[in-house]
Structure 1
Amino acid sequence: MARSQARDKPPARPGDLYLDLHRHFGWQVPDHFNIAMACMRRWAEQLDTASRTAVIASAPGRSPRHHSYAALMDQANRLSNALAALGVQRGDRVGIVLPQRFETAVAYMAVLQMGAVGMPLSQLFGPDALEYRLHDSEAVVAICDQPSLSALLGVRERCPLLRAVIGVDGDGTPEGMRADLDWGDLLAQEPSEFDPVNTRADEAAVLIYTSGTTGNPKGALIPHRALIGNLSGFICSQNWFGFDPVDAAVPSKAVFWSPADWAWTGGLMDALLPTLYFGRPIVGHNGRFSPELAFDLMQLHGVTHSFLFPTALKAMMKAVPVVRPRYRLKLQALMSAGEAVGDAVFAWCRDQLGVTVNEMFGQTEINYIVGNCALLWPAKAGSMGKGYPGHRVAVLDGEGNECPVGVPGDVAVHRLDVHGDPDPVFFLGYWKNEGATRAKYTGDPSDSWCRTGDLATRDADGYLWYQGRADDVFKAAGYRIGPSEIENCLVKHEAVANAAVVPKPDAERGAVVKAYVVLAAGFAGSDALVKALQSHVKGMLAPYEYPKEIEFIDALPMTTTGKVQRRVLRLQEEERARLRSAIQKKAPRRKNDEGLRRNGA
């Protein structure tokens, strides 16, 4: 089995093992590696593990259903045969528009074991987003269930290479709105044996389109080996995922659940695939997230390990400030990413959930590269953590030099690890976009840094502190403002459920700090509350950081991966500024016109 491991076993002693792990860690990447073989077949083909639960399927109004690794392989083999009959070949892209459900895991395993490329597509995508990705990727088949079928069928004529649409749960669908092929009928007619393709480790496995905050979305092509590159981060962020940190042969029961959509890197590469890699069960809930649902699922299924976005944790903290009298949880580890957690949420996780949250940082292109592992080295509240074992991480300035302690710079990862060996976590490049791929790197192609576009500072202990996206950080009255610290401060106030900080254009100071605030239940916006929140921030941060203006809104604009879209709010402020300027320019003319009329002109 391909794996990442230490060159020598880490010493069995308590304390900060970070330096020891980095010094002894080395990658073991075979020439040939297939994600489906590692995540499904090696468990399903052994008598003692075939009956293990792979996926616990959950949905509102339905009893949970446990699906074994043997059942996963049976269904995946049938689907692989069906896709091959449809002409899907090695390297072809297959769109997967499915939520968290057993069939989603089946689809990925089927596509990957035949050497094709799985393309995750969110059910939240509208027709335009679906069309762009299906057309640009030249996908040949798409798999979806009922909620996405209408949008998919509506764009298929503009995707000429899309040969077939396979529909899950097609019973009762009106004529004219049905998929080309029904999942159940299709799999029933195919054999349950399939000979998997022996893919190379650096062969394409997944094509995930980035959010496209500037320009069109870019397709990041992820190789099979990237899963191996993820493992050190997954193990550390999940506090060894039920294994003894020194003797990895000693496992304990582990159950994973995360609300992260399996159509995104956070759900696919940080949850579904690594959980299956270790042969453990993952809860797949096909339903909307709510704080109460999160607690209910964790209690019902005895969830031991989880990945929860900061926005989810904030909502849970506000909904259930005191957890233990209401819920009996078995949490052993909790990872969070996407935004800074902040010390208020950090303390609530420790005191109420009974775990130290391990903050993590990564990108679709280079995932799981920085983070914490409270079991092996101290976690600092609000810190992104340190580079995970196997990854050579630095904070770089515009010239490619490492920034001194405390100076913000671009978080970057080197192609080679500390031993000079290739880091397997790297993506292959952007689909049909060599220019964007080249722009992602600094230095010689064989000896280069991959820049993330996320800003951070490094402290004297090597921990990174998130400052925001490069385009989120701004200057106000000459001061450099990182929104995360102010947002974290605001959320500590009992009246605030969530907050986003952006610059508001100002003629004299360039910009002033503005906060958009979502209020907690039971609170109403008022001038008095604005002053109270401003005083709250003034008392905790630097004087120039308090929001000069606060606007109360019902909900913040969010990406489908749970990140606050500050860019949307920033553009809104810029448009408002343009309108104010236009009105002011017209005002003197109107005054002059009125004066002329009074003088009889």
Structure 2
Amino acid sequence: MAPSSASPALTGPPIDYKLPDTFNFASDVIDKWAQDPSLKAMIWTSRQGIGSSVSSRRDLTYEDFSERSHRVAKWLGETLGITKGDRIMIMLPRVAAWWDVLLATIRIGAVIIPCTTLLTPKDIEYRLSVGHAKVFVTDKAGAMKLTKVQNKGTLSINILVEEDGSTFPGWHSFYEGVERNTKTGDRVPNLRTTRKDPCIIYFTSGTTGYPKMVLHNHISYPLALKFHGQYWYRLSPHKVFWNLSENGWAKAAWATFGTWNMGATLFIQDDRGAFSVDNLIDTLHNFEITHLCAPPTSFRQLVLPEKLNLMTGPRKPKALTNCLAGGEALNPYVTEIWKKTMGMDIHEAYGQTETTLVCASIIGYDVRPGSMGVANPTVPFAIIDDEGNILPTNKEGNIAILTSKEPRLPWLFDGYVQASGELVLPELINPKTGQRWFLSGDRAVCDEDGYYWFVGRSDDVINTAGYRVGPFEIESCLKEHPAVIESAVVTSPDKQRGEIIKAFIVLTDEYKKRLQGQGNTQKAEMELAKEIENFVAENTAPYKKPREIEFVDTLPKTISGKIKRVELRATERQRKGVDTRLGKGAKL
């Protein structure tokens, strides 16, 4: 059971395992911090697109959010008739009203379903048909998408969030409705919610099949994520935390609950354009952001020489002291370069929408580049085999969370909500011990010091010529080659070997220009591919080198930014005449 007895002792404040019988994040956390009227909850900014400057800034206190969310809760409950257990689907960009609705929903015991603004009408229709939402909260762009949805399921109330107060026939204006039906100082009763009360539903990324509905209660996210804020984020009042994730994804909830549990400040940038590393650098330079949580793809761009030159020269971060990465494993090379150049560690972590923090680079432990860190001591998890047996150190296995422990600590979701309303928690049962485990679908190794090392998705592991190879080690090696920005390594069918290793590689602009500047581009690409293959063979092991390399402009990714290796595998099978139905998919 993790952490291993060989792991170093945890230092810092003791961890309180005692859980309250009731907990309501809005009243127990937001209203508590609101007693200090000067304590800042959010720095909200907006940016119009790549290369543009920040056009506006608003500083909002905990007192502001306490006051606003009470008024929104009163309007939702008393005027619109929304009651405990009703489901509210919200699809908004990074506007402050998103957090007003979140807190108000928690206050009245309704269930919030956050959705990304990137959803298509077809995506919305599916979520409404299975999610049984009563309320839909969105802006004009989302409302236009909803007009193309035929089956709206149980939807009966539409709310439009536009600051000018505009609305459509049959819609309620958010700002006008709150202003007309409530007044400053209004309060709703302090509802005491428990771990048996549903709080939030997230749809998984859905890289295979239809997305699943992940249900968390009022303890398993709003309270459990306090551990993140204290031990992984390392936050305290007046620290400023910037998470790059869009509001439709669980990482936004991790950031919100983790930051506000600690009385710290969320930095929000309402930037509706494509990601720009230059905008990222400018924002860190111009604002008092102390903590940055970004996906590995962002850090891979930040460590390019020209970007590091900016960040150590004319565009130095104004206040940055802590960096965190999650969503995918980060290449050790990136961590080492960042530490050497910027003087800061990148603290990695592992968790899923279904879980809270499983393991991380937390207070009291040294950072080991490439490692996910050590076990969260509040989560009973282990590396197990396919029968449910706990494996010894340095043995690759499945990342799993024990569900048969009583009482079960609520750091795990309640289950997948079916369209019928049934709640299902899939478990692997050990036939000898009877222990029940939730399988993450990911594989890892725990070393003798209690540090965990990501191997890959269960379906990402490549079997080639008798060797089992995880893609991450190869991708990390590829990143060290100067031609590579990022890569995705997958299995590709092969008549002789069964499977071979194939790498899809995005080249740097410099190397793209080199190839274009040569007369025979095809020959130049073959020579570069051979050079990269040999580079991997020399820096890992010969059997780990890619047997095929394909240069691509971009990698397919989920709308949460994770590489869709399942799509690349399917493409390879189709190209080589293999039935794609034989391949299992990975939920990334």
Tell me which residue corresponds to 1:587. none
1:27 maps onto 2:20 in alignment: no
Tell me which residue corresponds to 2:38. 51
Is contact 2:227-2:258 (8 Å) kept?
no
Tell me the CA shift for residue 463 of structure 1: 1.1
- The DSSP-based 3-state class of the residue aligned with 1:472 is coil
Tell me which residue corresponds to 1:274. 258
Tell me which residue corresponds to 1:234. 229
Amino acid at match of 1:508: Q
- The DSSP-based 3-state class of the residue aligned with 2:539 is coil
Tell me which residue corresponds to 2:502. 514
Tell me which residue corresponds to 1:216. 210
Distance in 1 between residues matched to 2:384 and 2:209, nearest whole Å: 25
Tell me which residue corresponds to 1:336. 325
- The DSSP-based 3-state class of the residue aligned with 1:189 is helix
Tell me which residue corresponds to 2:358. 369
Which of 408, 418, 439 is the equivalent residue of 1:451?
439
* 1:184-263 alignment, distance < 5 Å: 184-192=175-183, 193=186, 194-226=188-220, 227-238=222-233, 240-242=234-236, 253-263=238-248
Tell me the CA shift for residue 24 of structure 1: 5.9
Distance in 2 between residues matched to 1:232 and 1:421, nearest whole Å: 19
1:575 maps onto 2:574 in alignment: yes
Is contact 1:456-1:465 (8 Å) kept?
yes
Is contact 2:91-2:248 (8 Å) kept?
yes
* Residues 543, 298 of structure 1: alpha-carbon distance in 2 compared, 3 angstrom cutoff: same
* Residues 554, 69 of structure 1: alpha-carbon distance in 2 compared, 3 angstrom cutoff: same
Tell me which residue corresponds to 1:346. 335
1:144 maps onto 2:155 in alignment: no
Distance in 2 between residues matched to 1:129 and 1:451, nearest whole Å: 27
Q: Deviations over 1:276-313 (max 9, x none)?
A: 22222111111133111222222222111121110111
Distance in 2 between residues matched to 1:534 and 1:518, nearest whole Å: 15
Distance in 1 between residues matched to 2:85 and 2:404, nearest whole Å: 27
Uncovered stretches (5+) of structure 1, i.e. residues with no partner: 1-15, 243-250, 582-601
1:77 maps onto 2:70 in alignment: yes
Tell me which residue corresponds to 2:296. 310
Distance in 1 between residues matched to 2:351 and 2:302, nearest whole Å: 24
Amino acid at match of 1:133: R
Which of 269, 273, 293 is the equivalent residue of 2:279?
293
Is contact 2:165-2:173 (8 Å) kept?
no
Tell me the CA shift for residue 22 of structure 1: 11
Aligned residues: percent identity?
29
Distance in 2 between residues matched to 1:435 and 1:116, nearest whole Å: 18
What is the root-mean-square deviation in Å for CA atoms of aligned residues? Answer: 2.6
Which of 409, 428, 439 is the equivalent residue of 2:397?
409
* Residues 377, 179 of structure 1: alpha-carbon distance in 2 compared, 3 angstrom cutoff: farther
Distance in 2 between residues matched to 1:77 and 1:466, nearest whole Å: 43
* Residues 387, 199 of structure 1: alpha-carbon distance in 2 compared, 3 angstrom cutoff: same
Tell me the CA shift for residue 111 of structure 1: 0.7
* Residues 569, 113 of structure 1: alpha-carbon distance in 2 compared, 3 angstrom cutoff: same
1:40 maps onto 2:40 in alignment: no
- The DSSP-based 3-state class of the residue aligned with 2:442 is strand
Q: Deviations over 1:241-276 (max 9, x none)?
A: 24xxxxxxxx6x31010111122111212x122212
Tell me which residue corresponds to 2:3. none
Tell me which residue corresponds to 2:462. 474
Amino acid at match of 1:101: V
* 1:5-20 alignment, distance < 5 Å: 18-20=8-10
Is contact 1:416-1:423 (8 Å) kept?
no
Distance in 2 between residues matched to 1:204 and 1:484, nearest whole Å: 36
Amino acid at match of 2:531: A
Distance in 2 between residues matched to 1:498 and 1:51, nearest whole Å: 44
Tell me the CA shift for residue 172 of structure 1: 9.3
Q: Deviations over 1:21-59 (max 9, x none)?
A: 699644121111012223422222x1xx13322121111
Distance in 2 between residues matched to 1:18 and 1:423, nearest whole Å: 24
Tell me the CA shift for residue 469 of structure 1: 0.7
* 1:546-565 alignment, distance < 5 Å: 546-565=545-564
Is contact 1:57-1:64 (8 Å) kept?
yes
Tell me the CA shift for residue 466 of structure 1: 0.6
1:490 maps onto 2:478 in alignment: yes
Q: Deviations over 1:200-252 (max 9, x none)?
A: 233111001112233221111101111322222332222x324xxxxxxxx6x
Tell me which residue corresponds to 1:588. none
Is contact 2:207-2:564 (8 Å) kept?
no
Amino acid at match of 2:23: F
Distance in 1 between residues matched to 2:425 and 2:241, nearest whole Å: 37
* Residues 22, 275 of structure 1: alpha-carbon distance in 2 compared, 3 angstrom cutoff: closer
* Residues 321, 119 of structure 1: alpha-carbon distance in 2 compared, 3 angstrom cutoff: same
* Residues 452, 17 of structure 1: alpha-carbon distance in 2 compared, 3 angstrom cutoff: closer
Amino acid at match of 1:280: A
* Residues 27, 422 of structure 1: alpha-carbon distance in 2 compared, 3 angstrom cutoff: farther
Q: Deviations over 1:105-135 (max 9, x none)?
A: 1110011111001101001111111111122
Tell me which residue corresponds to 1:97. 91
Q: Rg larger in 1 or in 2?
A: 1
Is contact 1:266-1:561 (8 Å) kept?
no
Tell me the CA shift for residue 195 of structure 1: 2.2
Q: How many pairs align?
A: 546
Tell me which residue corresponds to 1:13. none
* Residues 18, 116 of structure 1: alpha-carbon distance in 2 compared, 3 angstrom cutoff: farther
Tell me which residue corresponds to 2:367. 379
Distance in 1 between residues matched to 2:435 and 2:459, nearest whole Å: 27
Q: Give the TM-score taking structure 1 as reference length.
A: 0.86
Amino acid at match of 1:229: A
* Residues 547, 178 of structure 1: alpha-carbon distance in 2 compared, 3 angstrom cutoff: farther
Tell me which residue corresponds to 1:327. 315
* Residues 491, 324 of structure 1: alpha-carbon distance in 2 compared, 3 angstrom cutoff: same
Amino acid at match of 1:163: S
Tell me which residue corresponds to 1:10. none
Is contact 1:441-1:450 (8 Å) kept?
yes
Tell me the CA shift for residue 435 of structure 1: 8.5
Q: Deviations over 1:524-559 (max 9, x none)?
A: 252222122112111101101111111111111111
* 1:421-432 alignment, distance < 5 Å: 422-432=408-418
Distance in 1 between residues matched to 2:579 and 2:146, nearest whole Å: 42
